[in-house]
Each structure stands twice: as C-alpha cells, then as structure tokens.
C-alpha cells in the first residue's frame, strides 16, 4: 500500500531537535558523533568504546570497504555471479557486533561482510558464495555467525527460534539478527517480531534502514517506521544514527544487556544509507538523485570515524599502514577467489542435517547417479 503522508528520514545533530520531515512518531535519533566527527553529548547514552577499540573497529570497516570494491570489480570481470556492497553501512554493522560477546549468535542477511570479518571468518568464504560454487562455507557454531540469508527476512525467524532455545537452555547468551528496512514489510519478519515479544526471546533486531528496498524508498514502503512499528508488537523501538559507530555500539549494547537480563527483544533502527548499488545487478542512478547521494556521502561513516580518531591523537602512520594492509588483503583475496574450484552440487546435502536421514541419503545418491549419467554427453 502506498503511503499518503510520505516522509523522508533525516539525521539531526541535536537529539531533541527533530526536522520538519522526520517521522511523526516521537522517536528521537540517538547520536554521539556529529557529522564532522566531533563528540556530542546525549542525556541517556555515552560512548562505551575507547580509542584502541575504535581503531580496531575502524580497521575492520576499512578492510571490508576495500574488499567491497574488489567484489564489485570481480563481478564486473565475470568472476562472481553477484556482489552486494555494504558501502556506507559499515558503522551500523561494526558498532552492533562489537557490542556483543563472542559467544552471542549473529544472523546476517547478505550484506554483512564486515561483521563476518569481525568474527574471524576468512572473507574468501563470503566470496565463495557469491562465486556460485558453494551454499555453505563456514562453521556456524565455531564462529557464532549464521550463513548469509538470501531469502529476505527468513533469518529473523531462525534468529527468534534460536533465541527461544537460549531461554529454554538457560544460557547466558543473546542473538543479533540483521535485516533491512524493506525486509520489515515481509510477513516472516512480522511473525518473528510477534513470537519474540510473546516468548520474551533474547534477540536484538538490527534494522539497517538504508532508505531503500532496492529501488523503493521508505515513503513508498510504510507509513510507520520500523522503530515505531515495534511498539505495536510490545517491543521497545530505538532509532540511532547508523553512521555513528559509537552511538550504534552504545544502543545495541544496552539492548543486548536488556535481553540478557531476561527483559526480551528490542528493535534497533539504524538510520544509514548505502552509498553504492543494492547489488551489482542494480543501477541506483535510475531512482536516486545526485544531490541525495552527495548529501549522504557527506555522512560517510568511515570519514566520520577517522576524524574522531585523529582528534584522539591517531597518527598519519596508522592510516597509511592500514591502506597498505587493505591493498595487500585485496590482492590476496582476489588471487584465492580466482583459484576457487566448484565443490559439486551434492556437497549441499552434507549441510542439511547433523545426521543425514535415509531419505536425504537416497536423494543425494539419486542426484549423483543422474550427474554421472550426464558425463560425456
């Protein structure tokens, strides 16, 4: 349904000063860093990360962005089937995951490369999926990091179910699940919100509101923003400047601790913007203006974090060394991606159940026999 009172979310500096075109829902946008990187005060939230922790987060953000560029290049050269850039959303991702314990489970969508790297995954594991030669390429339990989900919104039900299991087990863990603003229109996501609320599941829903569901802007997606709609399910909804690493970290940390205390789920709406395309199959110039893109380019989370780090005394050598590290990593990843070989379609059956059922084994053998029959044709 098309909204008649359309609005365009905009980020403001003073959390008490909401712009005229902000959602009329009374929800502020939490911010700890101004767009120029200067620290700002907030009555309820304070930075939890010190300079060393921010430097480490920035390093992962910077490396992930360099690999984002490499992913797009590889796809354009016919070496990847698809690439989904996260350009501009790095602070939302690193701010959130750095607020968790290593044992807390994360369910990504398909754009969380920087989160995967934070959890110690070899980035080639992500490229392997995008090359179209593997459906599952890392140990979920070892990294406490789920597989990429390409069915929009499906990961929210999986995360909610996992979180309900945590409650039954009495474990001291929480779950973070990532989704976009467009996913909140999916029925599965609304089911997940409802189940999480009813069963008091320890799950944090991180909605990276990058303003578009592919080419559909917020104004044509919904009348009530995700943070406001959360309240209808009985879930607290918090809006945060998603390009502010410190603010996202503080908000998600609070939501995670709330869940850990047994106080249930939270929806965190991180207001951000994808500076690039939705995927390499998309042309954003067909639905976005140059002026809009330039506005959000001025809110680049890497630029903002770098300015803050420089204010904290970080020297030029740190940034120069990081640039060299990023180039070396991109060269290494490219070489290893080009060397990847398909593992075979029947490998998929090894990742369905811990103990394959007789029916699954029989089906796998039927597929193998069929493929063998095609050899030489």
- Catalytic residue numbers, as ranges: 274, 278, 287
State the DSSP code for 184: G
The sign of the torsion formed by the CA atoms of 281, 224, 90, 192 equals: negative
- Look at residue 340 and give its three-state secondary structure: coil
Residues 107/50, Cβ–Cβ less than 8 Å: no
- The DSSP-derived string for 109-144 is -S--HHHHHHTT--HHHHHHHHTTS-S--S-HHHHT
Residues 152/110, Cβ–Cβ less than 8 Å: no
The residues, ordered by sequence, that sit 6+ positions from 87 with a Cβ below 8 Å of its Cβ are 65, 68, 274, 275, 276
| C-alpha–C-alpha distance, residues 271 and 285, integer Å | 21
Closest to 322 measured CA to CA, from 93, 119, 51, 64: 64
């Amino acid at each position: 349904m098309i909204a008649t009172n359309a609005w365009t979310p905009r980020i403001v500096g003073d959390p008490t000063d909401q712009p005229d075109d902000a959602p009329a829902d009374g929800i502020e946008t939490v911010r700890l860093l101004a767009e120029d990187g200067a620290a700002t005060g907030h009555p309820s939230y304070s930075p939890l990360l010190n300079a060393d922790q921010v430097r480490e987060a920035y390093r992962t953000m910077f490396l992930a962005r360099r690999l984002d560029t490499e992913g797009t290049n590889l796809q354009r050269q016919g070496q990847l089937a698809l690439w989904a850039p996260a350009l501009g959303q790095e602070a939302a991702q690193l701010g959130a995951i750095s607020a968790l314990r290593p044992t807390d489970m994360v369910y990504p969508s398909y754009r969380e490369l920087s989160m995967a790297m934070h959890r110690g995954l070899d980035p080639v594991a992500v490229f392997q999926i995008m090359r179209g030669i593997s459906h599952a390429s890392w140990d979920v339990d070892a990294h406490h990091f789920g597989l990429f989900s390409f069915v929009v919104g499906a990961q929210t039900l999986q995360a909610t179910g996992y979180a309900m299991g945590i409650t039954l087990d009495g474990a001291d863990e929480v779950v973070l699940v990532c989704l976009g603003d467009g996913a909140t229109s999916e029925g599965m996501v609304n089911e997940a919100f409802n189940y999480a609320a009813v069963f008091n599941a320890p799950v944090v829903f991180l909605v990276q509101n990058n303003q578009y569901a592919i080419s559909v802007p917020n104004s044509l997606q919904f009348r009530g923003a995700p943070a406001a709609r959360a309240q209808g399910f009985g879930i607290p909804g918090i809006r945060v400047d998603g390009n502010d690493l410190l603010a996202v970290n503080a908000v998600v940390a609070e939501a995670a601790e709330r869940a850990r205390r047994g106080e249930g789920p939270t929806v965190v709406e991180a207001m951000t913007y994808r500076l690039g395309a939705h995927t390499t199959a998309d042309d954003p110039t067909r639905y976005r203006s140059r002026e809009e893109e330039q506005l959000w380019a001025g809110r680049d989370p890497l630029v903002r974090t770098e300015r803050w780090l420089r204010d904290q005394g970080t020297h030029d050598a740190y940034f120069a060394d990081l640039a060299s590290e990023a180039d070396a990593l991109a060269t290494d990843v490219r070489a290893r991606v080009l060397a990847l070989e398909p593992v075979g379609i029947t490998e998929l059956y090894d990742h369905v159940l811990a103990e394959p059922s007789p029916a699954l084994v029989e089906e796998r053998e039927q597929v193998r026999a069929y493929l063998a029959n095609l050899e030489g044709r």
